[in-house]
Amino acid sequence: MKKYEHTSPTSVQDAVKLLSAQNARACAGGTDLIGIMKEGLLPTDRLVDLKTIKGLDYIKEDGGELKIGALTKLSTIAASDVVNTKAPALAEAAARVASPQIRNMGTLGGNMAQKVRCWYFREFERADCYKRNGNYCYAILGLSDLHAIFDGAACFAVQPSDTSTALSALGATVVINGKDGERNVAIDDFYIGPDVDYLRETVLAQDDIITEVRIPASALGRPSVFIKAAPRKTIDFARASVAVLIDANPVGSIRLTLGAVAPTPHRAKDAEDFLKGKSLSADNIAQAATLAVKNAKPLATNGYKVDLVQGLVRQALTRLAS
């Protein structure tokens, strides 16, 4: 790793200021950032250690919403009674991130803002791909096992965050602090695709910090579920995941999000629309699963994700139906 300046702000305002310098990077748990710095994929002159800011790790119900501080550890969220009771999909997603050691270090904000895991971007040193500021995507003609079956445009790397899938289904709001103060961004707007900017995956500017995530009253206490498919039963990033929130069965409102199959958390809107007003019968579940992959455009070696997503959707809806 190259030399960099390590800074320890004690307030959000300090951190934002420190982040305005050239190649300054916000670091929470560091489980993603340090790796990517070692690989030389993110030039870093200054590291702004958010862990020295007090008061950003909490889980509380406030004004009908569930508010989670961005520095809350993933292991804390996974073990939280209130999250497990009020927003189970998020607890399940946090519990399925990586390994116990990483969940003990990794934070909610960091998990949401992590960099993509594309093996060309991360490991192929000759790659002059879009994410490396080049103009090529190696996955299109190469090995695309990890890559997007939806919404790929130029870059086909997928959003790897498990919590992002759950938060999308839960309709969360992301509270961001930046140089112009605080702003709230809906989760559907927080993640951006390569068609908007292929060098980043979220709306966060270099000097923006996620400070809080809010789960709306409409989602709290409602049935929700998160299921992840990965090569092994632990550690691995998702090859596909699904998170679903419903109000009741028969379904009045539903949010059904697919993870690790698109550059952003991917709402399966055709399936959502189909299920509105219907009961979660076996037939309806099967049809919804088919609709969930209606617009899939697999590459050479990620066609299996089309089958996998359907299976996951069936499993998730079947669990909610029972």
Partner 1 sequence: MGKKFSQARILQMLDDPDFQLLSAEYPDLYADEIEAMNDYVRSITPALPEWVKGAAPKSQQQLKFVGTKVKRIEDPARLTGNGVYASDVQLPGMLYGYIVRSPYAHATITAIDTSAAEALPGVRAVLTYKNAPQTKIGTNPDKFVVNQEAHCAGDEVAAVAAEDPHTAREAAELIKITWQELPGVAADIKAAMAAGAPALIAPNISNYSAGTPVKRGDFDSAYGSASLKYEQTYTTATLQHTPLERHCTVARWEGPDRLVMWASSQYMSSVRSSLASYFGMPRSHVRVLSENVGGGFGSKGGAQRDAYIAAVLAQMTQRPVKVYFDRPGNFRTSVHRYAEIMSLKAGLAGGNTINAYRLDAIGDGGANKGGTSSLPPVQRVYTAGNAFFQETNVITNRGQSGPMRCVGDPQGTWAQEIFIDELAEKAGMNPLDFRLKNIAEVDQDHENRKWNSCGLRDCATKVATAIGWSSKWHKPAGKINGRKAHGIGIALHACGHGSMSLPMTCVVRLDRDGSLDVNNGLTEIGGGQSTAAMIIAAETVGVKLTDASASWNDTGFTPDAGVTAGSRGTISSGSAVRNAALDLKAQLLQIATSGAKPMLNAKPEDCDTGDGYAFVKADPSQKVKLADVANSTGNPVIGRGTHVVPPNTSMSVFSAGATEVEVDLDTGEVTILSYVGANDVGQAINRLGVEQQMEGGIVMGMGMGLWEEMKYEAQHNFPVNWNWENYPIPTTLDTPKWANFQTIIVEPIDAIGPYGAKGVGEPPISPPPPALANAIYNAIGVRIYDAPLSRDKVLAAIKKMK
Options 229, 251, 260, 280; binder of partner 1; rule CB under 8 A: 229
Distance of CA 130 to the CA centre of its chain: 20
- Examine residue 6 and tell whether it contacts partner 1 (CB under 8 A): no
Q: At 215, list the tokens.
A: 């789960």
Q: At 161, list the tokens.
A: 């965050």
Options 130, 138, 150, 274; binder of partner 1; rule CB under 8 A: 138
Nearest-angstrom CA–CA distance, 73 and 304: 33
In the sheet that holds 5-7, the strands lie side by side as 5-7, 46-49, 24-27
Options 36, 143, 205, 286; binder of partner 1; rule CB under 8 A: 143
Options 57, 145, 188, 247; binder of partner 1; rule CB under 8 A: 145
Cβ-contact 226, 243 below 8 angstroms: yes
Return the amino acid letter for 263: P
Nearest-angstrom CA–CA distance, 164 and 191: 9
Residues 290-309: x where in contact with partner 1 by CB under 8 A, - otherwise, as a string: -----------x-xx--xx-
- Options 164-172, 188-196, 227-235, 265-273: segment touching partner 1 (CB under 8 A): 227-235
- Options 21-29, 83-91, 139-147, 266-274: segment touching partner 1 (CB under 8 A): 139-147
- DSSP H stretches of helix in 171-303: 187-190, 269-275, 282-292
Q: Which residues pair with 6 in a beta bridge?
A: 47
- Examine residue 236 and tell whether it contacts partner 1 (CB under 8 A): yes
Angle separating helix axes 304-321 and 282-292, nearest 10 degrees: 150
Least distance from C-beta 233 to partner 1, angstroms? 4
- Examine residue 235 and tell whether it contacts partner 1 (CB under 8 A): yes
User: 7-66: which residues touch partner 1 (CB under 8 A)?
Assistant: 40
Residues forming the site for partner 1 (CB under 8 A): 1-3, 40, 117, 119-120, 122-126, 138, 141-143, 145-146, 229, 231-237, 239, 301, 303-304, 307-308, 310-312, 314-315
